Chain A
Amino acid sequence: MSVMEGRTTSALLYLDGVHVSFDGFHAINNLSLTLEPGEMRAIIGPNGAGKTTMMDIITGKTKPDEGTVLFDGMTDLTRLDETRIAELGIGRKFQKPTVFESQTIEDNLLLALNVDHSVRGTLFWRGNGAEAERIDRVLETIRLTNARNRLAGSLSHGQKQWLEIGMLLAQDPKLLLVDEPVAGMTDVETHQTAELLKEINKEKTVMVVEHDMTFVRELGVKVTCLHEGTVLAEGTIDQVSSNERVIEVYLGR
């Protein structure tokens, strides 16, 4: 249904000529972008540049008016809904940390595991060792092992950000879309988050949207700057940050 005839690109994520407008406002304007498997990409750009809208399009929340969005070279994402896209292996962390506040940290991760998500499967679910082990591993990675039985709502802002990244890990996607992971974090936490994302990138493809230039520099990956819904500049952090237009619209003189 959504699988195209043969593979036309080696990219894991392929956006070409994407347009979206909301009531005449062009949020995304002829946006083209590719992500190779195993790559980590940082996306920067001023407010309203279309960064979050782009993630909405990739995850099926918003349907583009025009353009191609291919995952793994074969699957047309514009025809699928959020659930189907998540099942394909695209995980998303929201700008505002969104965890299940009235449930424990362990349950948050349990819900995120990519196991049977059907009504029947969850109704008759019984825990097993393999799942518990995976949860333990994620808890260790995000350093919340001691807090596993606490309610997620009682975590600090930074810890919630980490829990949400942990939920992404439990989901075990091929592609992680991470929206502003270090907003509201201390310098130490920001540094730790950069290390964590680099660790994750060893196995997975990652797209990070972030405003914090120190953090982006620390990631040390290819940077794309969006402006008015289209790509303004792309390259290393040094190339992009010395680009005249980028300085003008985003970094400031």
Chain B
Amino acid sequence: MTPHVLTRSLDRSATIFILIVAGLGVLIPLSNLLLPAGSALQVPTYLVALFGKYACYAILALSIDLIWGYCGILSLGHGAFFALGGYAMGMYLMRQIGSRGVYGNPILPDFMVFLNYPKLPWYWHGFDMFWFAALMVLLVPGLLAFCFGWLAFRSRVTGVYLSIITQAMTYALLLAFFRNDFGFGGNNGLTDFKDILGFNVQADGTRAALFALSCLALILTFLICRAVVTSKLGKVLIAIRDAESRTRFLGYRVESYKLFVFTLSACMAGVAGALYVPQVGIINPSEFAPGNSIEAVIWVAVGGRGTLVGAALGAVVVNYAKTFFTSGPLAPYWLFMLGALFILVTLLLPKGIIGTFNAWRESRKATEAANAESAALEDGVGEPKPAE
């Protein structure tokens, strides 16, 4: 894609969004590394890691908004693509441990020694190279989404039926990854990471760099989503969302469009997962839990479905609330609050935060225009209105 395509029609809210993310991506790491610890303006390392997590969630939210908000595909299993991207990165990080593991085996990760694996399973080969792992981060979620989507969209599975099978998909993966003989560490998943590209994952500098990279990935994902939704293809996606059979009768191959956008979205979710894992230090099967995927959909609904900025904002707002409430005495009630939030947003703010704000701004603009017009007519200087 040419830069022109990426920067096309950057409206004001998009520009503000990019400036804020870029600003935070630079300032937070600088403050963390350069200011003395304990100073009022210094962002402590645990917060850098937390904000990094939010940035990854925002990428996941964008990927969901791209298919749900713009094409009407409600995936309740997008956490699976996030987790697969995470596992691909986790496998690289495991191979980097080398002989520093508890059992000191230079090739086999600890859990394989513990479970008496004679040798490295074939699908672990290549993950000692970063470029290979990075490729798998895109390829594995992308390929799964492509196969899944090819079957589902060709058979015209839509609406709630599609949502249910995406839930089944992530649940099936959850069960598979729980198994010890599946070769991904079973229940415990992958953890105890040491290095990434030779840098200590625990070091402040690495964490700050990972945060900055997450912000960069968020901006890139945003620009790609934006390029897609502002192209003519974006108009076709909205047409499919609003009147699928009409679009078909105009001669569009609806399943190809859905497949393209679903696969692209899965790759984005994979990248989010890959950036998430080194920052939280663990990936285990619970990331596949159906509840995670549903939670991600709630972020998008809260922020504003069909507005890219809204999706990212929703992810940050809901997760901030989650961090805030689950670390206080209200912790046991968080899930109830999340459920209530979803119901309230659906009832009171069906367009989400940004969607409602946009609608309010537009209606105000329309009123102003109408007032100006009637004032001009009263003054007698207004042109006669052309008949419609």
Enumerate chain A interface residues (CB-CB to B < 8 A). Answer: 59, 61, 81-83, 86-87, 91-92, 94, 98-103, 107, 110-112, 114, 117-119, 122-125, 146-147, 167, 171
Contact = CB atoms under 8 A, between A and B. Distances in A.
Contact of A82 (B233, B239, B248, B256): B248
A86 B235 contact: no
Interface in B235-262: 235-236, 238-239, 242-243, 245-254, 256-257, 260
User: Which secondary structure dominates where chain B touches chain A?
Assistant: helix
Interface in B315-359: none
Given A92-B249, A117-B250, A171-B251, 6 more contacts: A82-B248, A91-B249, A102-B242, A103-B238, A122-B236, A123-B228
B252 A100 contact: no
A147 B387 CA distance: 11
Contacts of B250: 86, 111-112, 117, 167, 171
B198 interface: no
A111 B239 contact: yes
Given A83-B254, A110-B235, A123-B233, A100 B246 contact: yes
A147 to B, nearest CB: 6
B386 interface: yes
A61 B246 CA distance: 11
A167 B386 CA distance: 24
A122 B388 CA distance: 32
Per CB-CB distance, the 5 closest pairs between chain A and chain B, nearest first, are: A86-B251, A125-B232, A122-B233, A82-B248, A122-B232
B231 interface: yes
Nearest to A170: B250
Contact of B251 (A99, A102, A110, A114): A114
A235 to B, nearest CB: 30
Contacts of A124: 5, 231
Contact of B248 (A86, A99, A119): A86
Given A103-B235, A124-B231, A82 B257 contact: no
Nearest to B228: A123
B196 to A, nearest CB: 34
Contacts of B231: 122-125
Contacts of A83: 248, 251-254
Given A82-B248, A119-B256, A146 B232 contact: no
Contacts of B236: 111, 122
